[in-house]
Amino acid sequence: MAVIPETDYEYEIARLVDAYKNAAGRIQRELERLDLAGLSRANAQVALSEVSRVLASLNDESAEWVAANIPQAARDGVARTLVALGAADTVEQAAAVVKFNRINANMVAAAVADTQADLLAVTQNVDRRVRAAVRKVIADSMRANMAAGISGRRTISADILGGLRKTLGDAVNTGIIDAAGRRWKPEVYVDTVVRTKMAETYREATTNEAIQRGAYYAVISRHGAKDACANWEGRIIKLSADAPGDYPTYDSAKATRQIWHPNCRHTFTPVRVPEK
């Protein structure tokens, strides 16, 4: 069988993650410039408009990234399937003739839309958290100033200012809270979302192309995993529940939660005849 090179999306993923890091840095600097000791709503509004501009441009950039990279993961899956099933000699040769069948065309369109929605939720979340933090800081700053007047001091204390700075910083740094209640830095969350989505898209595209070509089995890749995935390396799965033979399906393997977890690098190579 031809040697099929692994896919590598590190460069592209790093480029997207950098865009989120840069945006977070710009928002952070915008918030740091605020004069918290006497913060007015007008000054806060100027800063929040800048935050919105930064996030809007990040949304455009990431939508474009997703539109280019999710389909690429699907093309890679189809190209490697063509080589695995002997319809092309090399991945380069296969890449030149890749076409999406109807089910893959629909799958890719849905995956692009899903991923764009996931990333949009990230910026919306950051926007909401930053706005809430700025509102809280305005109120706290006003209260602290009143209290400073009572105690005879002229300005609010360094402790309180430090607390206000931290409130603003946290809004950006731990801006994402997932369904399990964990807090994420936006760029770390984005890294996991796109890595997982690209891997899923690759596997689905592979499955759809393989089934259309009459290959109903696949061998799970190996890279010497140390986690629970190790139990699955080199094993055969069925790509369709209807295929004969006592092999787990892709879905039942995934349902064990041992393999194809978020960030999992395991793929599979379609085969026509499952070998022992």
Nearest to 72 by CA among 199, 190, 219, 221: 199
Amino acid at 95: A
Count, residues near Zn ion per rule CB under 5 A: 3
Per-position x/- string for 105-144, each x denoting binding to Zn ion as judged by CB under 5 A, each - no binding: ----------------------------------------
- Does 203 engage in binding with Zn ion (CB under 5 A)? no
* CB proximity list for 229: less than 8 A, separation 6 or greater: 258, 259, 261, 264, 266
Find the binding residues for Zn ion in span 208-247 (CB under 5 A): 229
CB 72 within 8 A of CB 199: no
Our finding on whether 195 is near Zn ion (CB under 5 A) is: no
**What's the gap between Cα 188 and its chain centre?**
8
Judged on CB neighbours under 10 Å (0-12, 13-18, 19+), 73 is: buried
Please tell me whether residue 266 binds Zn ion under the rule CB under 5 A. Answer: yes
Stretch that binds Zn ion, among 128-136, 157-165, 241-249, 264-272 (CB under 5 A): 264-272
**Both tokens of residue 103?**
């089910």
Smallest separation, CB 86 to Zn ion (Å): 27
Q: Which stretch binds Zn ion (CB under 5 A): 91-99, 144-152, 161-169, 262-270?
A: 262-270
Q: Which is nearer to Zn ion, 123 or 207 (CB)?
A: 207
Residues in the site for Zn ion, rule: CB under 5 A? 229, 264, 266
